Protein backbone atom coordinates (compact mmCIF):
# COMPACT_ATOMS: atom_id res chain seq x y z
CA UNK A 1 0.00 0.00 0.00
CA UNK A 2 2.79 2.43 0.85
CA UNK A 3 4.62 1.67 -2.39
CA UNK A 4 1.48 2.10 -4.50
CA UNK A 5 0.83 5.40 -2.70
CA UNK A 6 4.22 6.58 -4.01
CA UNK A 7 6.52 6.72 -0.98
CA UNK A 8 10.20 7.17 -1.82
CA UNK A 9 11.59 6.38 1.64
CA UNK A 10 10.31 4.66 4.79
CA UNK A 11 11.27 5.50 8.37
CA UNK A 12 10.09 2.97 10.96
CA UNK A 13 10.98 1.61 14.39
CA UNK A 14 11.28 -1.90 15.84
CA UNK A 15 9.61 -3.93 13.12
CA UNK A 16 8.25 -7.23 14.39
CA UNK A 17 10.55 -8.99 11.90
CA UNK A 18 13.67 -7.37 10.41
CA UNK A 19 12.92 -9.12 7.11
CA UNK A 20 10.03 -6.71 6.52
CA UNK A 21 12.58 -4.15 5.29
CA UNK A 22 13.14 -6.37 2.26
CA UNK A 23 9.53 -5.96 1.15
CA UNK A 24 10.26 -2.42 -0.03
CA UNK A 25 12.00 -1.25 -3.19
CA UNK A 26 12.74 2.13 -1.59
CA UNK A 27 15.24 2.88 1.20
CA UNK A 28 14.07 1.82 4.68
CA UNK A 29 15.55 3.32 7.83
CA UNK A 30 14.74 0.97 10.68
CA UNK A 31 15.25 2.73 14.02
CA UNK A 32 15.36 0.98 17.39
CA UNK A 33 13.63 1.99 20.61
CA UNK A 34 16.79 1.03 22.49
CA UNK A 35 18.09 4.59 22.05
CA UNK A 36 15.12 5.73 24.17
CA UNK A 37 14.78 2.74 26.49
CA UNK A 38 18.44 2.37 27.51
CA UNK A 39 18.68 5.85 29.09
CA UNK A 40 15.41 5.14 30.91
CA UNK A 41 16.71 1.82 32.29
CA UNK A 42 19.92 3.58 33.39
CA UNK A 43 17.84 6.23 35.20
CA UNK A 44 16.25 3.51 37.35
CA UNK A 45 19.66 2.71 38.88
CA UNK A 46 18.65 -0.90 39.54
CA UNK A 47 21.08 -2.62 41.89
CA UNK A 48 20.91 -6.17 40.48
CA UNK A 49 19.77 -5.63 36.90
CA UNK A 50 18.70 -8.65 34.89
CA UNK A 51 17.17 -8.55 31.39
CA UNK A 52 14.44 -11.01 30.41
CA UNK A 53 12.67 -12.02 27.23
CA UNK A 54 9.08 -13.21 27.71
CA UNK A 55 9.56 -15.79 24.94
CA UNK A 56 12.25 -17.43 22.81
CA UNK A 57 11.29 -15.28 19.79
CA UNK A 58 12.36 -12.09 21.57
CA UNK A 59 15.63 -13.49 22.92
CA UNK A 60 17.80 -11.77 20.29
CA UNK A 61 16.45 -8.33 21.24
CA UNK A 62 16.76 -9.03 24.98
CA UNK A 63 20.27 -10.42 24.48
CA UNK A 64 21.35 -7.11 22.92
CA UNK A 65 20.18 -5.26 26.04
CA UNK A 66 21.85 -7.81 28.36
CA UNK A 67 25.16 -7.47 26.49
CA UNK A 68 24.94 -3.67 26.58
CA UNK A 69 24.34 -3.65 30.36
CA UNK A 70 26.68 -6.63 30.94
CA UNK A 71 24.05 -8.40 33.02
CA UNK A 72 22.32 -11.81 33.10
CA UNK A 73 19.71 -12.82 30.52
CA UNK A 74 16.56 -14.79 31.38
CA UNK A 75 14.33 -16.36 28.72
CA UNK A 76 10.70 -17.39 29.09
CA UNK A 77 9.74 -20.59 27.32
CA UNK A 78 6.02 -20.66 26.61
CA UNK A 79 3.48 -22.90 24.94
CA UNK A 80 0.20 -21.57 23.60
CA UNK A 81 -3.23 -23.18 23.93
CA UNK A 82 -4.45 -20.94 21.05
CA UNK A 83 -3.75 -17.46 19.64
CA UNK A 84 -3.34 -14.81 22.39
CA UNK A 85 -3.54 -17.43 25.15
CA UNK A 86 -0.47 -18.79 26.95
CA UNK A 87 -0.89 -22.35 28.22
CA UNK A 88 2.36 -22.84 30.15
CA UNK A 89 5.57 -20.92 30.79
CA UNK A 90 8.91 -21.81 32.33
CA UNK A 91 11.99 -19.65 32.92
CA UNK A 92 15.49 -20.38 31.71
CA UNK A 93 17.82 -18.75 34.24
CA UNK A 94 17.81 -17.63 37.88
CA UNK A 95 15.99 -14.44 38.91
CA UNK A 96 16.30 -14.70 42.70
CA UNK A 97 16.98 -11.26 44.27
CA UNK A 98 17.28 -9.65 40.82
CA UNK A 99 15.70 -6.45 39.48
CA UNK A 100 14.27 -7.79 36.25
CA UNK A 101 13.40 -5.75 33.15
CA UNK A 102 11.39 -7.68 30.56
CA UNK A 103 12.04 -6.49 27.00
CA UNK A 104 9.52 -6.95 24.16
CA UNK A 105 8.67 -5.31 20.85
CA UNK A 106 4.91 -5.03 21.32
CA UNK A 107 2.20 -5.83 23.83
CA UNK A 108 -1.28 -6.73 22.59
CA UNK A 109 -3.45 -8.48 25.19
CA UNK A 110 -0.57 -8.51 27.76
CA UNK A 111 -1.09 -12.23 28.45
CA UNK A 112 2.51 -13.29 27.82
CA UNK A 113 4.22 -10.37 29.51
CA UNK A 114 2.07 -10.48 32.66
CA UNK A 115 2.41 -14.27 32.94
CA UNK A 116 6.19 -13.86 32.65
CA UNK A 117 6.19 -11.08 35.27
CA UNK A 118 4.14 -13.13 37.73
CA UNK A 119 6.40 -16.17 37.26
CA UNK A 120 9.56 -14.07 37.63
CA UNK A 121 8.26 -12.54 40.87
CA UNK A 122 7.14 -15.95 42.17
CA UNK A 123 10.67 -17.27 41.59
CA UNK A 124 12.18 -14.65 43.89
CA UNK A 125 12.87 -11.51 41.84
CA UNK A 126 13.12 -8.34 43.91
CA UNK A 127 11.32 -6.25 41.27
CA UNK A 128 9.84 -6.75 37.78
CA UNK A 129 9.26 -4.13 35.09
CA UNK A 130 8.42 -4.45 31.41
CA UNK A 131 9.51 -2.32 28.47
CA UNK A 132 8.02 -2.64 24.99
CA UNK A 133 8.28 -0.56 21.85
CA UNK A 134 4.67 -0.61 20.73
CA UNK A 135 1.51 -0.31 22.84
CA UNK A 136 -1.28 -2.19 21.04
CA UNK A 137 -3.09 -3.09 24.29
CA UNK A 138 -6.31 -4.74 23.20
CA UNK A 139 -8.97 -6.60 25.20
CA UNK A 140 -8.06 -7.27 28.83
CA UNK A 141 -4.54 -5.76 28.61
CA UNK A 142 -5.01 -2.91 31.10
CA UNK A 143 -6.67 -5.15 33.68
CA UNK A 144 -3.98 -7.81 33.32
CA UNK A 145 -1.15 -5.30 33.78
CA UNK A 146 -2.86 -3.66 36.77
CA UNK A 147 -3.32 -7.02 38.55
CA UNK A 148 0.14 -8.37 37.64
CA UNK A 149 3.42 -8.35 39.54
CA UNK A 150 4.71 -5.61 37.20
CA UNK A 151 5.81 -2.43 38.94
CA UNK A 152 5.48 -0.56 35.66
CA UNK A 153 4.87 -1.13 31.95
CA UNK A 154 6.85 1.30 29.76
CA UNK A 155 6.06 1.91 26.07
CA UNK A 156 7.09 4.42 23.45
CA UNK A 157 4.35 6.61 22.05
CA UNK A 158 4.64 5.05 18.57
CA UNK A 159 0.98 4.16 19.17
CA UNK A 160 -0.93 6.61 21.39
CA UNK A 161 -2.10 5.10 24.69
CA UNK A 162 -5.62 6.02 25.81
CA UNK A 163 -6.07 3.45 28.57
CA UNK A 164 -6.47 3.90 32.30
CA UNK A 165 -3.81 1.65 33.78
CA UNK A 166 -1.79 3.43 36.47
CA UNK A 167 1.26 1.26 35.82
CA UNK A 168 1.67 2.41 32.20
CA UNK A 169 4.28 5.01 31.29
CA UNK A 170 5.04 6.27 27.77
CA UNK A 171 8.32 7.69 26.47
CA UNK A 172 8.24 9.81 23.35
CA UNK A 173 9.90 8.94 20.04
CA UNK A 174 9.33 12.45 18.64
CA UNK A 175 12.90 13.75 19.02
CA UNK A 176 14.40 10.51 17.63
CA UNK A 177 12.23 10.63 14.51
CA UNK A 178 12.57 14.38 14.05
CA UNK A 179 16.37 14.29 14.21
CA UNK A 180 16.53 11.31 11.84
CA UNK A 181 14.28 13.07 9.33
CA UNK A 182 16.37 16.26 9.61
CA UNK A 183 19.57 14.33 8.93
CA UNK A 184 18.04 12.47 5.98
CA UNK A 185 16.86 15.73 4.40
CA UNK A 186 20.35 17.23 4.84
CA UNK A 187 22.17 14.13 3.56
CA UNK A 188 23.81 13.47 6.94
CA UNK A 189 24.61 10.14 8.57
CA UNK A 190 22.06 8.61 10.94
CA UNK A 191 24.38 5.87 12.25
CA UNK A 192 24.78 7.41 15.70
CA UNK A 193 21.00 7.23 16.16
CA UNK A 194 21.56 3.53 16.94
CA UNK A 195 22.85 2.28 20.30
CA UNK A 196 22.93 -1.37 19.19
Please spell the DSSP secondary structure of 50-91, one letter per residue: EEEESSGGGHHHHHHHHHHHT--EEEEEEEEEETTEEEEEEE
DSSP 167: T
| Whole-number Cα distances in Å, 13 to 30, 51, 186 | 5, 21, 21
Q: Give me the catalytic one of 42, 60, 67, 78.
A: 78
The dihedral over CA atoms of 94, 97, 99, 102, expressed in degrees to the nearest 10, equals 30
Residue 60 falls in the annotated catalytic set: no
By CB atoms closer than 10 A (0-12, 13-18, 19+), residue 8 is exposed
Cβ neighbours, 10 Å, residue 117 = 27
CA distance 150 to 165: 12
| Catalytic residue numbers, as ranges | 78
Amino acid sequence: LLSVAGVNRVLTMDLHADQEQGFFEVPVDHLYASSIMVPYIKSLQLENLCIASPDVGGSKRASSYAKYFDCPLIIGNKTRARANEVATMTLIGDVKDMDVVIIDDMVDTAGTITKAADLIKAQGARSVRAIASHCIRSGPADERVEKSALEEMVFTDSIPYHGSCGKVKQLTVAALFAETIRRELNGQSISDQYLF
